[in-house]
């Protein structure tokens, strides 16, 4: 019997004060708002558990950003279960390093640097677009190795989970599908939203986006 196609569940952290007001939040360790915690907890009751989309027995591995907003989101998702899935807290899935633009809203950045476009110009004092793409591509290679082991060799489990950030997740969605980095601008990734990435036609050679912003709360 053929194995089901493997999946990547890509979760953005829940609401923070800075996500509410549009401030670029990279290195800064901003906590979830109380409402953000409640929203993630409500999502967990729908999303996580036996027979649910994120069934612990199907999770091969999870990659979690070290920033508290992402780390806390991961913990809330699984706190109602006896144990957490196998996971690593890793800088590889941290948010884009905004450098000199940390904490600023887009209007403030454009007043300093008219014509700025993060997808093309990156961030002075932080990560360039090329550096961001290289980091996301490394993560995708890692995930596809897990997927290949499951689908072709029957080792591990079906699903991988990433709990990360807005620009990181948008970049990953673009690159997963073979698009240029700047195609990430066309994907909205809401706080707490869940994307599902997989493949078409029962082959790992045709990556695809299955769902976007599942369980996200309206702004």
Burial of 202 (0-12, 13-18, 19+ CB in 10 A): exposed
Rounded Cα gap, residues 77 and 37, in angstroms: 10
Decide the pairing of beta strands 7-12 and 87-89.
unpaired
Largest CA distance in the chain: 59
Q: Which domains does the chain have, with CATH numbers?
A: 7-214 (3.40.50.1240)
Nearest alpha carbon to residue 49 among 38, 40, 58: 58
Predicted structure pTM score: 0.96
Q: What is the pLDDT of residue 2?
A: 80
166 carries a ligand binding annotation: no
Write down the pLDDT at residue 218.
53
How far does CA 7 lie from the centroid of its chain?
Answer: 13
Catalytic residues: 13, 95
Q: What is the pLDDT of residue 217?
A: 63
DSSP letter assigned to residue 192: T
215 is known to lie in a ligand binding site: no
Q: State residue 119's pLDDT score.
A: 98
Q: Quote the pLDDT of residue 25.
A: 96
SS3 content of the chain, % helix, strand, coil (to 5): 40, 20, 40
Burial class (CB in 10 A: 0-12, 13-18, 19+), 2: exposed
Please tell me the predicted confidence (pLDDT) of residue 1: 65
Q: Is 26 annotated as a binding residue?
A: yes
**Which H helix or E strand runs over 159?**
strand 159-164
DSSP class of residue 217? P
> Is-contact 15 35, C-beta < 8 A?
yes
- Report the C-alpha gap between 12 and 163 in whole angstroms: 6
For the chain, list residues with pLDDT below 70: 1, 217-219
- The response to whether 92 counts as a known ligand-binding position is no
- Distances in Å between the Cα of 25 and the Cα atoms of 21, 83, 135 are 11, 30, 18
pLDDT at residue number 215: 76
Q: What does the pLDDT read at residue 94?
A: 98
DSSP H or E run through 194: strand 194-199
């Amino acid at each position: 019997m053929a194995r089901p196609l493997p999946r990547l569940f890509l979760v953005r952290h829940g609401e923070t004060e800075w996500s509410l007001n549009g401030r670029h939040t990279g290195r800064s360790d901003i906590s979830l708002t109380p409402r953000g915690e409640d929203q993630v907890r409500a999502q967990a009751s729908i999303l996580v558990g036996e027979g649910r989309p994120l069934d612990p027995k199907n999770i091969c591995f999870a990659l979690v950003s070290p920033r508290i907003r992402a780390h806390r989101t991961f913990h809330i998702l699984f706190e109602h279960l006896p144990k957490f899935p196998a996971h690593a807290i890793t800088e590889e899935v941290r948010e884009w390093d905004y450098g000199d633009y940390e904490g600023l809203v887009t209007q403030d950045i454009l007043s300093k640097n008219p014509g700025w476009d993060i997808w093309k110009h990156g961030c002075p004092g932080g990560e360039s677009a090329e550096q961001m793409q290289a980091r996301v591509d490394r993560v995708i290679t890692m995930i596809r190795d897990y997927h290949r082991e499951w689908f072709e060799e029957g080792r591990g489990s079906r699903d991988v989970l990433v709990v990360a950030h807005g620009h990181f997740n948008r970049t990953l969605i673009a690159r997963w599908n073979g698009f240029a980095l700047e195609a990430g601008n066309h994907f909205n990734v809401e706080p707490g939203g869940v994307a599902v990435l997989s493949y078409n036609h029962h082959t790992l050679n045709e990556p695809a986006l299955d769902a976007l912003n599942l369980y996200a709360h309206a702004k």
